[in-house]
A = this chain, B = another copy of it.
Amino acid sequence: MPGNRQIIVRGRPTCIPQAEHFELVDGNMPFAGAGEILIRNLFLSVDPAMRGWLADTSNYSQPIAIGSVMRSLAVGEVVESNAPAFAAGERVMGWFGWQQFAATTPDAVIRKVEDRDLSPSLALGVLGLNGVTALLGLEKVARPTAGDTVVVSTAAGAVGSAVGQIAKLLGCRTVGITGGAEKLAICRDEFGYDVAIDYQAPGLDQALANVCPQGANVYFDNTAGPISDTVYRNLALHARVVTCGTASVSSWNPVPTGPRIERIVMTRRAQIGGFVVLDYMDEFQPAGARLAQWVREGKLKYREEIVDGIENCPGAIADLYEGRNLGKRLIRLV
């Protein structure tokens, strides 16, 4: 009988989670109890948000207990079902954790993955957490209208690249901020940004002012930190800011300082809204369907960086924060 390889949380990181905060163990093969389903994971997700889930300071979800399987979204196949709504062979996306097999009640499932013409991995990226974050962050908080200038940080990332393309589909002008020549080229050539700016080059303030002479109407912020400070200085009157991630801040303990934004917020009548996609679980299915249609039509491009083997999970979060990845980071198990 096969075992169940799992990644267990062994330490609570104060900054970015590193490989040493996890341990790969051989668990027992689980089975589906009454009302449960047994899932074989196909792909495991690696997300920047995992830093927050692991932190013991205030977050939007309970911190993950030391000694438990690392919390993660995954896409898998139902192997056995004791729940009437699921049948063996169906594909599902949900909270199945960094492990090969998960036995769970149906409430861990976020949605069924029925787009058999598309790779199931997309349900974790452009049709999942990242794409839905981009779509609903724009629609719920940014509310862009055609002609708006939309500035995106981590513009080449899994969320940012979707934000840029969806904003473009909505008739906006898109400005992507990213780091390095390779990502700049990807932003322009692949994700269709009208302008891409390298934050690693000197003169970000001036560069942004040059390309947004009327200011940014929308700022989709995945970074916080100095990049955001620059964009705030370039906000247009009545600008909307989506505060969606803090990739540029390596530690929140102690809380880092930055320029105060109150005067900008007041004089420009800016509106800033925090966005956490997990508030919109009920909208994953319809949002995913809209995104899938754009993918099929070639209007929404994505990149995946797939690594084989669960043993690569522990170091994968730190990689994201070093900006080394060029696409949604996934661990393939099967």
Binding site for B on A (CB under 8 A): 52, 58-60, 221, 224-225, 228, 243-246, 249, 252, 255-276, 279
Contacts and interface: CB of A to CB of B under 8 A. Distances in A.
A271 B269 contact: no
Contacts of A245: 266
B259 A255 contact: yes
A221, A255, A268, A279 pick with most chain B CB within 10 angstroms: A255
Contact of A267 (B59, B224, B256, B263): B59
A279 B275 contact: no
23 contacts: A52-B267, A60-B266, A60-B269, A224-B260, A224-B262, A224-B263, A228-B262, A246-B263, A249-B263, A255-B260, A258-B258, A258-B260, A265-B272, A265-B273, A265-B274, A266-B274, A266-B275, A266-B276, A270-B272, A270-B273, A271-B273, A272-B272, A272-B273
B262 A221 contact: yes
Given A244-B266, A258-B260, 14 more contacts: A52-B267, A59-B267, A60-B266, A221-B262, A224-B260, A224-B262, A228-B262, A249-B262, A249-B263, A257-B258, A265-B273, A266-B274, A266-B276, A271-B273
Q: Can you list the 7 inter-chain pairs with the closest CB atoms, starting with the nearest?
A: A224-B262, A272-B272, A266-B274, A265-B274, A269-B274, A243-B265, A255-B259
A131 to B, nearest CB: 19
A279 to B, nearest CB: 7
Contacts of A259: 255-257
Contacts of A272: 265, 270-273
A319 to B, nearest CB: 22
A141 to B, nearest CB: 8
Contacts of A276: 266-267, 269
Contacts of A274: 264-271
B260 A269 contact: no
Contacts of A60: 266-269
A257 B262 CA distance: 11
A272 B264 CA distance: 12
A268 B276 CA distance: 9
A258 B263 CA distance: 13
Contacts of A221: 262
Contact of A243 (B244, B256, B262, B275): B262
Contacts of A262: 221, 224, 228, 243, 246, 249
Contacts of A224: 260, 262-263
A246 B265 CA distance: 11
A306 B245 CA distance: 49
A263 B228 CA distance: 13
Contacts of A263: 224, 246, 249, 252, 255
A221, A244, A257, A269 pick with most chain B CB within 10 angstroms: A269
